[in-house]
Amino acid sequence: MAELNEQQIDLISAYIRQYGVASDSLHEDLLDHVCTSIENLMDEGLSFEDAFAKTIKLFGPGGLKQVQQQTFELITEMNVTMKKVAFVLGLTSAILLLAGTVFKLLHWPGAGIMVVLGGGILSLGYLPMLLWHKLKESEKGDAPMHIAGFVGLAGSALGVTFKIMHWPGAGIFLIGGMAFLGIIYIPIYFFRKYKTSSNKPVTLSAGLVAMTCLIMVFALININNSAQMDRALLLPKNHLYVKAQGIRDTDFAKDGEFWKAASETVTLLDEFAVEMIMRSEEVSSAEASRMSILDLRRRNDHRTPHFFLFDEGGRMSELVEVLKRVNAASEGLATEGMFAYEVDESYVLYGESLDWASYHFKNVPLTSVLSQFAQIKLDLLRASDMVAHQESIQPAASGLPSGS
Amino acid sequence: MYICLMYSNELIKGTLKTIVLSLLAKHGRMYGYEITQHVKEATDGKIQLTEGALYPLLHRLEAEGMLLTEKVNIGKRVRKYYSLTDVGNETSGVLAKEFKDFSETMNQLLNNFLLNPSYHG
């Protein structure tokens, strides 16, 4: 029986390494295999060179590299542990998202953390694992499709999470994610399916249904930006708001508690409005002061007013303070009872007792906060007009310290 | 590219594991080249395992704990012998039994078709 010498073995070893077999244990296997095969062929009378060439040819198209690639794929195929991890991640995120949504709808505490955890696990844990698996098990040409699908799904999931939490950037995630799904993933996926499908009409209709669902979800998310909603909900308020905006420089310069308190309130309301628009829209104060409700892009922003008025800013107490002074000062004036900001009242919402400020302004969208501000401002303006009128016809009876 | 010249890939893809495990169950320890040659001879060349199919499978079965390897130096190179672990032995029995059952069922089914040509629709 023929036996290869050391040089020949070195040559074969180098050849195998050169053609991309990096794994040592596979290298050993292949080296022995090739050597044995050559030895057997040489026994049949072939020269070393011919036997070598013939053996290599048996490896088929792709050759050694292909062996390495397939070994890698088979060994790294999602093993039992990974399958379990993927299953647990998927199940956890689904349960968290479901529970979070239900809690959110019922206004129970803990909804936020569940939604964030669920969305995070889904888009940063489960989906990447799924992508990795898909990339490995499918052909190379499919990679862009799977990546687009991953980006689309993860983006949409993050977008929905951000949307539920009223965090900034939700729109970008959602639109980006859905664009990836709608423009790249679904068309490619169904195009491929269609080409190899045995029942083309069914595949085609399934593709169309998928696209329709996507478009409907998109419409649902953006429904509150529809033009009709704008008109129905915002025009009357916008009208008030614009009107109130125009009277920033009203002359409250008269003496007396009422005038002082009213003018301070208006100044404060204007300042708050501008500050909140600045934060929500990320614009300069000059731009913010020119914007009306219809110019706002993030009309449902609950977050900014909440942070500004309650959490971090805590400016609400200032407003409550001046309104108390307005209430006190208006006693005995003609305006008494015309407006009543019952800042000491408590209200009940979803079984929870809330004070005046929380009831009117907590978890309320920016547009509604601004509308309420506009209403207060107009009330005060009207009241001060009445007081001024009364004073002009009945100076002595007005009850105001005349000052001059 | 999977295995052979005679049968379609689809047909043989699922049986490769059964072939390798049964062979090792019968012969104890074998090395890669030996396995390919054995299958070739035993099937009159109808099934020829290629390296591209065999080694990935052997490595995977080893990773799954069904095979043990044993290295023997042969001059300047190493020969790796594969043998079944207890788990591998058990699996080989299960797979062989399953395949026999499957092939009997297929036979029965096909005979049925042949005896009743109207089934061809």
For the entire predicted model, the pTM comes to 0.44
- Distances, alpha carbon B63 to alpha carbons A117, A171, B60, in Å: 34, 46, 5
For chain B, residues with pLDDT lower than 50 are 1-4, 121
Burial class (CB in 10 A: 0-12, 13-18, 19+), A25: middle
How high is the pLDDT of residue B24? 92
Phi, psi angle pair for B95, to nearest 5°: -65, -40
Asked if B52 lies within 8 A of A9 by C-beta distance, the reply is no
Under an 8 A CB cutoff, do B52 and A60 touch? yes
- Residue A141, pLDDT score: 72
Q: What does the pLDDT read at residue A279?
A: 87
Cα radius of gyration (chain B): 17
Spell out which residues of chain B touch residue A71, defining contact as CB-CB under 8 Å.
Answer: 55-56, 59-60
Residue ranges of chain A with pLDDT lower than 70? 1, 20-23, 60-63, 72-80, 137-140, 221-255, 334-340, 390-404
Residue from A78, A74, A99 nearest A87 by CA: A78
Residues in B lying within 8 Å of A, measured between beta carbons? 1, 31-33, 36, 50-53, 55-60, 63, 71, 74-80
The confidence score (pLDDT) of residue A246 equals: 55
Tell me if B55 and A59 make a contact (CB, 8 A cut-off). no
Q: How many CB pairs under 8 A join A and B?
A: 78
Q: Which amino acid is at A322?
A: V
ipTM above 0.85, yes or no: no
Under DSSP, the state recorded for A228 is H
Neighbours of A60 (CB within 10 A): 15
How close does chain B come to A282, measured CA to CA in Å? 56
Q: CA-CA distance, B92 to B83, in Å (whole number)? A: 12
Whether A60 and B50 lie within 8 Å, measured CB to CB = yes
Portion of chain A with pLDDT greater than 90, in percent: 10
- pLDDT at position A5 is 83
Spatial contact of A292 and A245, defined as CB atoms under 8 Å apart: yes
